[in-house]
């Protein structure tokens, strides 16, 4: 600790010299809110294999128990996103109470319109009106679940698309999509938001009905003020400037939320910040440049081979680091150098913030609120993962993968 307070004092002095209000930065770091996904605590895999993890959460109560540990250690994860039917229960009011007893609230409700046999040719874009009715009924059920659990977000991702040119009409699928979403939008109470997530491919491999931010944005504009765009950081074509999309949507008041994760190739769903921490920093820089106050910050990952709770804590810490770096950007210097056309001078203002070791600042922000300065060390010292491994064992049917895998 002695070493921490010396290192922290040095950093705080340096930041103050750079005109940064360190106490304000710590306050904003303590007010950060990152929602974790229930499905990040259970077994998950690829089409090749799902490796069962000792102690992996098997139902929504175990997922909430693990999420409560992540919140207890980080102090910034008081809500959990649910996926329906993966987390379906008979008594949603009781689940809300149970979550509250763990210090948690129910976050975004995610309809699942990609795992039912009926959805082979799509859900709301399906040529068959019976299937579209089914999809609408499921989303209306999710609006009902949100009402009972106190959730104010329906987080919608559509796997809808086609695999071969000519398989279906783009124009007719678009019309079906708009009609169906209008019905769901109309059923939402005031204040509830529909976040429309886009993804440029997979599981469809010719076209995806909501492939990019522009399509999602146009749909959100068409539906109304309670519809916004959800940016999943793993859903873009290689080379896409995600922070520019963030800036544009913020400017339009249409950025509803994020699904943070990391990827090198496709939708790899790896630990946020583990592949391109500079991009994550730039996303937060744009978030703090625009007024991102009511933008829902959510993690969306699946931990196929690594310890799931430690992976979630690491992800939250990486997101906190990106946020801290963005909060110490010398914005006055940046604006002055941008105005002066000082290209590299302006660039270095951002790089200086990114290359600042903010870990002592984050540790102090935790200490100030009675938390352990290093949540990973605290998790390992707690023995929680070993405890649940003993109690829960290894799932015999982890699911996923090719049939015989
Ligand atoms: C789709 C997605 C979507 C979730 C799923 C778990 O790739 O990002 O947000 O429904 O992952
Ligand atoms: Mn997602």
Say what the pTM is: 0.97
Distance separating alpha carbons of residues 205 and 163, to the nearest angstrom: 5
Give bridge partners of residue 299 from the DSSP assignment: 260
Q: Which residues contact 305 (CB under 8 A, 6 or more apart)?
A: 51
Say if residues 159 and 203 touch (Cβ distance below 8 Å): yes
Question: Ligand 1 centre from 110 Cα, in Å?
Answer: 9
Q: Which two tokens stand for residue 233?
A: 């950081």
Task: Per-residue pLDDT tens, the chain, 405 aa: give them.
Answer: 568 999 999 999 999 999 999 999 999 999 999 999 999 999 999 989 999 999 999 999 999 999 999 999 999 999 999 999 999 999 999 999 999 999 999 999 999 999 999 999 999 999 999 999 999 999 999 999 999 999 999 999 999 999 999 999 999 999 999 999 999 999 999 999 999 999 999 999 999 999 999 999 999 999 999 999 999 999 999 999 999 999 999 999 999 999 999 999 999 999 999 999 999 999 999 999 997 889 999 999 999 999 999 999 999 999 999 999 999 999 999 999 999 999 999 999 999 999 999 999 999 999 999 999 999 999 999 999 999 999 999 987 666 656 655
C-alpha of residue 345 to centroid of ligand 2, in Å: 36
- How far, in Å, is the centroid of ligand 2 from the Cα of 101? 28
pLDDT for the residue 371: 98
Q: How far apart are CA 265 and CA 326, in angstroms?
A: 26
Taking CA atoms only, the protein residue closest to ligand 1 atom 9 is 157
User: What's the count of helices (H) and strands (E) in the chain, helices before strands?
Assistant: 15, 10
Question: What pLDDT shows up at residue 399?
Answer: 64
User: Ligand 1: does its nearest atom lie under 6 Å from the Cβ of 110?
Assistant: yes
Contacts of 180-187 with CB under 8 Å at 24 or more apart are 180/124, 180/132, 180/135, 180/136, 180/139, 181/124, 181/219, 181/223, 181/227, 182/223, 183/136, 183/140, 184/136, 184/139, 184/140, 184/143, 184/154, 185/223, 185/224, 185/226, 185/227, 187/140, 187/143
């Amino acid at each position: 600790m002695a070493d921490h307070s010396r290192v922290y004092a040095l950093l705080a002095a340096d930041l103050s010299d750079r005109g940064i209000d360190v106490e304000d930065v710590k306050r904003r770091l303590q007010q950060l809110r990152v929602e974790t996904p229930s499905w990040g605590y259970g077994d998950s895999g690829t089409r090749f294999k799902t490796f069962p993890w000792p102690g992996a959460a098997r139902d929504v109560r175990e997922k909430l128990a693990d999420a409560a540990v992540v919140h207890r250690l980080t102090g910034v994860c008081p809500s959990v996103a649910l996926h329906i039917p993966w987390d379906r229960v008979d008594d949603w009011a009781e689940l809300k109470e149970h979550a509250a007893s763990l210090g948690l609230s129910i976050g975004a409700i995610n309809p699942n319109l990609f795992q039912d046999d009926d959805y082979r040719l799509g859900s709301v874009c399906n040529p068959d009106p019976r299937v579209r009715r089914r999809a609408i009924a499921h989303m209306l059920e999710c609006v009902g679940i949100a009402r009972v659990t106190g959730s104010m977000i329906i987080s919608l991702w559509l796997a809808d698309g086609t695999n071969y040119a000519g398989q279906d009409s783009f124009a007719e699928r678009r019309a079906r999509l708009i009609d169906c979403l209008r019905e769901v939008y109309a059923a939402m109470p005031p204040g509830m938001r529909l976040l429309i997530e886009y993804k440029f491919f997979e599981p469809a491999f010719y076209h995806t009905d909501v492939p990019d931010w522009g399509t999602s944005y146009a749909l959100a504009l068409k539906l109304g003020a309670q519809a916004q765009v959800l940016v999943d950081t793993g859903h873009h074509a290689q080379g896409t400037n995600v922070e520019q999309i963030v800036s544009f949507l913020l400017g339009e008041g249409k950025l509803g939320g994020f699904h943070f994760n990391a990827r090198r190739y496709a939708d790899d769903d790896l630990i946020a910040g583990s592949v391109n921490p500079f991009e994550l920093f730039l996303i937060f820089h744009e978030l703090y440049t625009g007024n991102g106050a009511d933008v829902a910050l959510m993690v969306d990952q699946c931990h196929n081979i690594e310890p799931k709770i430690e992976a979630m804590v690491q992800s939250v810490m990486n997101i906190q680091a990106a946020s801290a770096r963005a909060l110490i950007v010398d914005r006055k210097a940046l604006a002055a150098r941008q105005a002066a056309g000082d290209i590299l001078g302006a660039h270095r203002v951002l790089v200086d913030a990114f290359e600042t070791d903010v870990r002592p600042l984050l540790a102090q922000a935790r200490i100030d609120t009675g938390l352990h300065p290093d949540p990973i060390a605290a998790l390992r010292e707690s023995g929680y993962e070993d405890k649940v491994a003993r109690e829960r064992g290894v799932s015999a049917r982890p699911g996923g993968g090719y049939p015989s895998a």
